[in-house]
Amino acid sequence: MANYKDDLAWPLEAYTPLKTLIIGAGITGLSTAIALSLTGHTVTIYEAAQSLSEVGAGLQIAPNASRVLARLGVLEQVMKKANVLEGLSLRRWKNDEEIGRAPLMPRVGEKYGAPLCVIHRADLQSILLQALDSLRNPVTLHLGNKVVALTHSSKTSIQLETGEWVEGDVIICADGVKSLMRQNFLSPGEENSEKIKKEGGLAAYPRGQADDVADQISPVPAGDAAYRVLIPRSKLEGNKQGIKLLDSNIGMRWMGPGGHIMAYPVRENTLYNIVLLHPQSSRSQSESKPVYSTADTRTGKSSKNEMLSFYSSWNSTIISLLSYIPDGEVAEWNLLSHSPLPTWMKGNCVLTGDAAHPMLPYVAQGAAQGIEDAGALACVLAKIGSKEEIGDALKVFESVRKERAERIQSSAGETRRVLHLDDGKEQRERDRKMRGVAGRSRGLKGEEKGEDVRNPDLWADEEWQEYMWGVDIMREAVEAWDRK
């Protein structure tokens, strides 16, 4: 692994050690636990699932996240398990024509001072769990402990499903897009138990605001779903094109009417990870059976025949890859989103990760934004001089994270539209711009150079990459606290 320069003094030493309670043991919750423990806080995680044997697929770790993971002491282990993508190939759905190619590593790592890689989600989760065990300041993880309520008025506490109440100095809600805590945190007071009201529960909105708030907190279908497929090398032996893709360390993005496919190798080129985005069916909206814990309750089961019915007219490379999928059920991920929230915090309680800002996958920032939350939150909580300043720290956290996360949320929606264009005039103009940007990156001259043209695929657009990947969120959090 390359040595990337980092001159931020880390770990910060907490002036006021806190008892912190984290709800949810997904990527955001585990990253937050490590960051808080490193700065000297006492950390307890409550996870509803009985185990963390998560069904997973590939995810991308961009420089804005790998910079945080380096400070958490886990990046070296991540890079041992990860694949480093050298580029992104943008391709036509019908004939497999390459429209353009965006360079990635090592160029991206040299530019931003931190690497970009892809990794199996379960591998990242395992690395984070192992890191908990090696911390000098141990983290307590309670599995099978569902949190059903929280309070923040006279005291900050959570209620477990058993009825037990647990007090803490700060509560971090990282329980996913279908966050029960977001509902409890921001929902109208009438929906909460009498005990929560009596204890000063968070949901104390006036009756007249109830409908407006309810509209903002409930996740809704985004209109798309994704099949997630992992094809082992053993199945691709004998398929020259399949092995070439598996060994290439190039991300492949096939764009077509109403959908697109993203594919790349993971686990040291032993698995080919394919994510197939398509319109969500009415069946998947009403009949999907959740198979994840609170970390992700959006994944259900579909059939191979249903998957093939959408992609049957796509190019022969796609059809060949899909032929290796076993007959029967495939995992289908129903994409959910919600409008930007009025706030992420109340008192000494804060929402993070998908509970605060669920990301559609089109700019590959879901895990990265949760990891940013972890790093920024640990920085501001380390700086407080007394427990009375916890609320101030959470306000600073929100000031450096909320607008940024919401802009990236919005960019994912625009990228989705561009990638899924029907064939026609707008699609041809999109492809022309992509070719121009690719020509510029190769140093071509004249019209082919693509001057003043941005890549319509914002994930591959250098200007938007600068915004997404070029931020050192932990440094920004420290500087924001120092300015306050």
- Round to the nearest angstrom and report the end-to-end CA distance of the chain: 37
Q: Say how far apart CA 481 and CA 484 lie, in whole Å.
A: 5
Instruction: Quote the pLDDT of residue 188.
Output: 52
Residue 240 to residue 4: CA distance in whole angstroms: 36
**Within a domain: residue 380?**
yes
User: Does residue 243 sit within a domain?
Assistant: no
Q: Is 188 helix (H, G, I), strand (E, B) or coil?
A: coil
- Alpha-carbon distance of 288 to 262, in angstroms, equals 23
SS3 124: helix
**Bridge partners (DSSP) listed for residue 254:** 91, 261
Helix (H, G, I), strand (E, B) or coil at 48: coil
Nearest Cα to Cα of residue 92 among 300, 304, 316: 316
Q: CA 216, CA 339: separation in Å to the nearest integer? A: 6
Would you list the DSSP string of 415-466? HHHHHTPPSSHHHHHHHHHHHHHHHHHTT--GGGG-TT---SSGGG-HHHHH
Residue for token pair 């994270």: 401
Tens-level pLDDT at each residue, the chain (484 residues): 444 557 777 889 999 999 999 999 999 999 999 999 999 999 999 999 999 876 678 999 999 999 999 999 999 999 999 999 999 999 999 999 999 999 999 999 999 999 999 999 999 999 999 999 999 899 999 999 999 999 877 689 999 999 999 999 999 999 999 888 887 777 654 334 343 334 333 333 344 444 454 555 678 888 999 999 999 999 999 899 999 999 999 999 999 999 999 999 999 999 999 999 999 875 544 444 333 333 344 566 788 889 999 999 999 999 999 999 988 778 888 998 888 899 999 999 999 999 999 999 999 999 999 999 999 999 999 999 999 999 999 999 999 999 999 999 999 999 999 999 999 999 999 999 999 887 766 554 444 454 557 899 999 999 999 999 999 999 999 999 999 8
Selection from 276, 270, 213, 224 nearest residue 246 by Cα? 270
Residue 344, domain extent: 19-60+119-219+338-410+467-483
Half-sphere exposure of 319 (CA within 13 A, CB side): 10
Grouping H, G, I as helix, E, B as strand and the rest as coil, residue 76 is helix
Let me know if residue 182 belongs to a domain.
yes
Evaluate whether residue 368 is within a structural domain.
yes
180, two tokens = 């029960």
Contact (Cβ atoms closer than 8 angstroms) between residue 69 and residue 45: no
Give the sign of the dihedral formed by CA 265, CA 271, CA 272, CA 278. Answer: negative
Tokens of 436: 């121009």
Residue position matching structure tokens 């903002």: 216
> Residue 353: which CATH number?
3.50.50.60
8 A C-beta contact, residue 387 and residue 381: no
pLDDT score recorded for residue 428: 97
Q: What is the pLDDT of residue 298?
A: 56
pLDDT at residue 299, as a whole number = 63
Beta-carbon neighbour count of residue 292 at 10 Å? 19
CB 129 within 8 A of CB 97: no
* Dihedrals phi, psi of 479, to nearest 5 degrees: -65, -35
Give pLDDT, residue 220: 84
Q: Are 153 and 199 in contact, with CB atoms under 8 Å apart?
A: yes
Q: Looking at the domain assignment, is residue 430 inside a domain?
A: no
Give the chain's count of helices (H) and strands (E): 18, 19
**C-alpha span between 404 and 424 (Å, rounded):** 33
Domain count of the fold of the chain: 1
- Is 297 part of any domain? no
Q: Is residue 321 part of a domain?
A: no
Q: Which pLDDT score, from 0 to 100, does residue 219 have?
A: 81
User: How many other β-carbons are positioned within 10 Å of the β-carbon of residue 200?
Assistant: 15
pLDDT given for residue 294 in this prediction:
35
The 10 Å Cβ neighbour count of residue 207 is 9
Q: Element (H or E) spanning 65, and its range?
A: helix 63-71
Beta-sheet strands, E only, within 243-387: 250-256, 259-266, 271-279, 299-303, 329-337, 345-346, 349-351
Residue 372 domain-assigned? yes
**What is the helix (H) or strand (E) element at residue 77, kind and residue range?**
helix 75-81
pLDDT of residue 452: 59
